[in-house]
Amino acid sequence: MFEYTLVGGLVASGVDAYLLHVTTMPSVAYIARVDDFDCGIMISVSHNPYYDNGNLKTEKGGLQRNVRSS
């Protein structure tokens, strides 16, 4: 549900959004780099404590930044 809410907000702001659904972080970085996207966003969760979860953002050129949830 969060995925579609995020995409809805991006599209409403005029951004083109592409869903890869279940995939790996390296594939998000690869697609963002080779298709010349401005960024890639991965939503991740696990059974580990909340501080191990987070959102991963891939900036233009494939640089990755971890945005921790708190």
Which alpha helices (DSSP H) does 1-65 contain, by range?
2-12, 25-34
Helix, strand, coil share (%) of the chain residues, nearest 5: 35, 25, 40
Determine whether 46 is an active site residue.
yes
Cα dist from 32 to 3, 48, 69, whole Å: 18, 28, 23
Name the catalytic one among 13, 27, 46, 70. Answer: 46
- What residues act catalytically? 46
